[in-house]
Amino acid sequence: MTRVRQVKTTFTAGEVARELLGRGDLRAYENGALSLRNVFIQPTGGVQRRAGLRYVDSVAGAGRLISFEFNTEQTYLLVITDQRIDVYADDVLLSTLDAPWTEDEIAHVAWTQSADTLLLVHPEVPPKKLTRSAGGVWALADWAYIQDVGVIFQPYFKFAAPEVTITPSATSGSVTLTAAADVFTAGHIGTHLRVGGKTVEITSFDSPTVVTVDVIETLFNTNPTVDWEEQAFSPARGYPVSVAFHQDRLVLGGSRDLPNRLWFSKSGDLFNFDLGTGLDDEAIEFLILSDQVNAIRGMFSGRHLQVFTSGAEWMVTGDPLTPANVQIRRQTRIGSMVGRYIPPVNVDGATLFVSRAGTQIQEFLYTDIEQAYQVTDLALVSRHIVPTPVDQDFDPQRRLLIIVREDGRFATLTVFRSESVAAWTLHETDGAVLSVAVVGEEVYFLLDRDGTYTIETFDSVLNLDAALSGSHESGADTWTGLDHLEGRMVTVVADGIVHAPCLVTDGTITLESPARRVDIGLPYTHIIEPLPP
């Protein structure tokens, strides 16, 4: 019987789903593989064992990683855990701050950065501002909207029906406001209202129809009026869901009680949302009108402001954006994940986002011919690789989109559009990956290794995970500093030779013979299984 040999020269389609085993006519079949575990696909089509994970530090618990990059030289890793933020630079802990978000709330925190300021929002928590001073001091504080004589220039909205009136008992001092319907809750204490364009602050809750207020601007009269509104963001109404900077404006996308509304600050005045008289530089506010009320889930500032909702993708145009010329147009109907915030990422001018069902990684790309955005499902032939993503980021150095999965594994997509490269591989480690962030040229992971939470980073020199390296000029048989691997059997590479596995006790291992150089960590196995001919 004649044996047929086939030469496999490229894996530019990555690991493909087993449903394609009968589709030898597809290009993905010709350039794909049946199984690719713990390997990277190079943009040129080659395959290599993935980099090991070097141990950086242990942290308080589960959470999320965020990149903070002031410039190419000053880059920081933020680790958000239960009511805490740790700030790292060059793998060294610089600062620890108290934070308001619980472990369960962290998944819904969204953020955007400008220079030395990071803005963070959550639908149930007042928005925060993380700043880094010139002296290297980090601080977390509430947003401070622009004020003028007690008047706060923040977004306002009338949540009650248009016909509901409000009646003040007096025009100044401490007065009561009586509404014609149930509109107030205890959460309104501290909220600002505008009655006839004048500002008051609620000081006590008396009933669903009556509150006591301090008058900041003298009211016109005590007549019932439908001309009133309350601040859009408060404990009673929730807070912004997403945030972005676009064309020198701060953009807020959706809130708990106003899920499909957009707010743009004044141009160049980021915390001033005064609508004024509609001049070109004044604030902008509008509702996304559609056949469905789909909640805004994320935004990305690119050629246009891209708005990702639970049911569709939109672009906001206007060059420059002004109250008179702003327009919003629906582009596609995919929808983004609702259960948690997964930031869209930019790859070569396209925006990659996770679909509502969590089974697709969509490429959102503007085409000059159509003058519109189109989507491409990057996981079409590898759907099994990306079920239920929980985080993502892009490593430009390796050309890798990194997807953290709910089951604790992570997937990588080598993407190079100009060469038609879209290759998925799956990665496993002894533990669960929780989050990923690319900081400068470094890729960091947050992991849960049997209840020990660690930060680890790719290290192409290592072939182990949770690994540390050490050296001793004259050689040593006892090596310490392994507390994060306590009670585990670890693999040791001593002077280039694989040593017998060792048990970590009290953060220490003892070798059978001294070694000058060691790598110590957890082993992982790579698999390359081609498709059948």
Spans of all domains in the chain: 156-231, 461-525
d(CA 474, CA 494): 13
- Cα dihedral sign for 405, 409, 410, 411? negative
d(CA 349, CA 49): 29
Confidence band, pLDDT 50/70/90 cuts, at residue 5: low
d(CA 499, CA 398): 31
d(CA 121, CA 242): 6
Note the pLDDT of residue 25.
54
Residue 24 has pLDDT above 80, yes or no: no
Note the pLDDT of residue 519.
98
Note the pLDDT of residue 381.
86
Residue 61 has pLDDT above 80, yes or no: yes
The total number of residues shown for the chain amounts to 533
**Tokens at residue 180, please?**
């014609």
Helix (H), strand (E) at residue 31? helix 27-31
Q: What are phi and psi of 410, to 5 degrees?
A: -135, 150
- Asked if 149 and 172 touch (Cβ cutoff 8 Å), the reply is no
Note the pLDDT of residue 26.
67
> Looking up tokens 């004259």, which residue turns up?
474
Residue 130 has pLDDT above 60, yes or no: yes
Confidence band, pLDDT 50/70/90 cuts, at residue 293: confident
Laid out side by side, the sheet with 240-246 consists of: 240-246, 249-255, 261-264, 284-287
* Residue 176: burial class (beta carbons within 10 Å; 0-12, 13-18, 19+): middle
The CA–CA distances, whole Å, from 461 to 17, 255, 449, 457, 521 equal 31, 46, 22, 12, 13
Q: Provide mean pLDDT across the span 265-271.
A: 96
Helix/strand/coil (H/E/C) assignment for every residue in 159-217 = CCCCCCCEEECCCCCEEEEEECCCCCCHHHCCCEEEECCEEEEEEEEEECCEEEEEECC
Residue 1 has pLDDT above 60, yes or no: no
Which amino acid belongs to residue 300?
A: F
Q: Provide mean pLDDT across the span 280-300.
A: 94
The CA–CA distances, whole Å, from 420 to 12, 43, 408, 416 equal 8, 10, 29, 6
d(CA 299, CA 398): 25
**Tokens at residue 244, please?**
């972005």
pTM: 0.94
Q: Among residues of the chain, what percentage have pLDDT more than 70?
A: 97
Confidence band, pLDDT 50/70/90 cuts, at residue 216: very high
Question: What CATH number matches the domain at 156-231, 3.40.50, 3.40.1360, 2.40.10, 2.60.40?
Answer: 2.40.10
Confidence band, pLDDT 50/70/90 cuts, at residue 511: very high
d(CA 339, CA 390): 9
Note the pLDDT of residue 22.
63
Helix (H), strand (E) at residue 515? strand 509-522
> Looking up tokens 């915030």, which residue turns up?
341
Confidence band, pLDDT 50/70/90 cuts, at residue 27: low
d(CA 390, CA 368): 32
194 forms bridges with which residues in the sheet? Answer: 199, 229
The CA-based angle 224-256-68, given to 5 degrees, is 130
- Asked if 116 and 74 touch (Cβ cutoff 8 Å), the reply is no
The mean of the pLDDT values for the chain is 94
Confidence band, pLDDT 50/70/90 cuts, at residue 290: confident
320 preceded by cis ω (within 30°)? yes
Residue 246 has pLDDT above 90, yes or no: yes
Residue 19 has pLDDT above 60, yes or no: yes
Summarised one tens digit per residue, pLDDT across range 314-352 is 999 998 999 999 999 999 999 999 999 999 999 999 999
122 forms bridges with which residues in the sheet? Answer: 125
Summarised one tens digit per residue, pLDDT across range 390-434 is 999 999 999 999 999 999 999 999 998 887 889 999 999 999 999
Q: Within a 10 A sphere around the Cβ of 269, how many other Cβ atoms?
A: 17
The CA–CA distances, whole Å, from 152 to 8, 217, 273, 451, 469 equal 66, 12, 9, 46, 55
Residue 280 has pLDDT above 80, yes or no: yes
**Tokens at residue 482, please?**
């392994």
Helix (H), strand (E) at residue 27? helix 27-31
Note the pLDDT of residue 3.
65
437 forms bridges with which residues in the sheet? Answer: 444
- Asked if 360 and 379 touch (Cβ cutoff 8 Å), the reply is yes
- Asked if 445 and 53 touch (Cβ cutoff 8 Å), the reply is yes
Note the pLDDT of residue 281.
96
Note the pLDDT of residue 82.
98
